[in-house]
Amino acid sequence: MDSLVKSAGLPVAAGASLLGAVSYYCLHRSATSATPKPLKKLSTGVSKNSTIVLFFNEGSTQCINLPNHKTDECALTDCPVRHLRTLQRIISKATTSVDVCLYNLNQPTLEKALVDLLRSGKRVRVVVGDRDVVDKGSITRLRSEGAFVVEKISKVPPGGLLPNQFEPSDLLMHHKFVVVDKKILITGSMNWTNKSFDHNYDHIIINVDPYLVNQFTEEFEYLHSTSCDDEKAYSTQPNGQVPFEVIFFRRFNFLCRRDANRKKKCERDDCMFYNYKFILHKIMRATVSVDLCVQQLTTEDLSNELIFLHNIGIKVRVICDKEFSTGTGSQMQYFINSGTYCIEVHRLEGDGSLHHKFVIVDGETLLAGTINWTMQSFFGNYENMLIVEDKDTVRQFVDEFEKLWKTFPAISKV
């Protein structure tokens, strides 16, 4: 197991021991499939809350295109091929099922791992959007090998709009999560595409927290089994009492976008405005610092709040992507021109795309997921946002933020 951890190149901390637990669990399960032991017995000594985070932070690399790339000899701290092999290993050790819910999937190694599972009689279920962005080749091949694929429709159904209501553009299936054997969650901001593996600043979170895994498993069941006609909006609410919490965003939340505009909840019990406010409040409660690292930020409620926090002396730092910092509605120009002293913005100027979507509050609370900070994401897409209080996990993101902050230059205009 040591060599497995070493070859995965993960930091020796809770992350490594989690991978150890996951690997051991997988190896053990495959060796004794007749009498499988539950994960919790095998992870003795490992915190159930520990998390592996795979960061992708090299911009453009050639690693993924090099045949038989020797990751041990790779100069990159976070070789994307090493991370890819970690994922492949976890997927291929599945003993019963893999549930895949991805905005975009065309990574050949991971596609092959799923095909191999299907050929050995394991269950693979897939939820994707119906948009062109999804590589239909991968989906078609998985379907032909026996995967049960559900495509979520992105158009608003006829009659779905109330009079005078904001009309959304396509409603995206923007999740990027996979659940293995209903025990291991793989989530984060990263799509399973070659471009993501060799081009993006991005992250993947691997977690075995039973509560969190169960939340994602239930959401998968919902997404996989619900036809568009029976869909509901968000139906549960975060309680803020556990180290790993998740908020799911559903397509029909577009009905509540007008609630955000008029700043009040509608008559629905599960009004999405509640969750939107819940997330904003997490940030508004900052007493020391807010560190934000997101690809897209057009949500004025958030930028107003960040400027307010900055003006009362909270340390606000923003890392952004070059392409989206100048896009329509981007709030970066307001940060740079805010208050007596500007909010400091650092930007990726070199190769690659900054694809992260995370915020750290007071160095203690992490908000991370698939959500770009746009109204479309909060009110209209299938998305998720983790709210993490677990110290070890948050620390990994704090370290990554500091690293990127030092790497990317400050900008004085967009």
Residues that bind Zn ion (CB under 5 A): 63, 74, 76, 79, 256, 259, 266, 271
Closest CA to 221 of 208, 235, 201, 239: 235
The continuous run of DSSP H or E covering 187 comes out as: strand 184-188
| DSSP sequence for 316-351 | EEEEEEHHHHTSTT--HHHHHT-SSSPPEEEEE-SS
Contacts of 188 (CB under 8 A, 6+ apart): 53, 54, 176, 177, 202, 203, 204, 205, 368, 369
Which of 362, 391, 392, 403 is the catalytic position? 362
Provide, rounded to whole angstroms, the least separation between the CB of residue 257 and Zn ion. Answer: 9
State the Cα–Cα distance between residues 4 and 269, nearest whole angstrom: 48
Specify whether 41 is catalytic. no
Which tokens go with 356?
A: 């992260």
Tell the smallest beta-carbon distance from residue 73 to Zn ion (Å).
8
321 tagged catalytic: no
Instruction: Using the minimum distance from each CB to Zn ion, give the nearer residue, 266 or 280.
Output: 266
Q: Are strands 344-348 and 176-180 parallel, antiparallel or unpaired?
A: unpaired
> Which residue number, 271 or 348, has a Cβ lying nearer to Zn ion?
271
Distance in Å, CB of 380 to Zn ion, minimum: 13
Q: Which is nearer to Zn ion, 201 or 358 (CB)?
A: 201
Q: Which ranges of 145-245 would DSSP assign to H, the alpha helix? A: 194-199, 210-225
Token code pair at residue 103? 């905005």
| Residue 161 burial (CB count, 10 A) | 14
- Give yes or no: 355 in active site: yes
Is 40 or 403 the residue whose CB approaches Zn ion more closely?
403
Tell me the CA distances in angstroms from 411 to 151, 202, 246, 304, 352, one per residue in order: 41, 21, 33, 20, 18
State in angstroms the smallest separation of the CB of 38 from Zn ion: 36
Marked catalytic residue, from 174, 355, 356, 390: 355
Considering the complex, state which of residue 151 and residue 301 has its C-beta at the smaller distance from Zn ion.
Answer: 301
Active site residues: 355, 357, 362
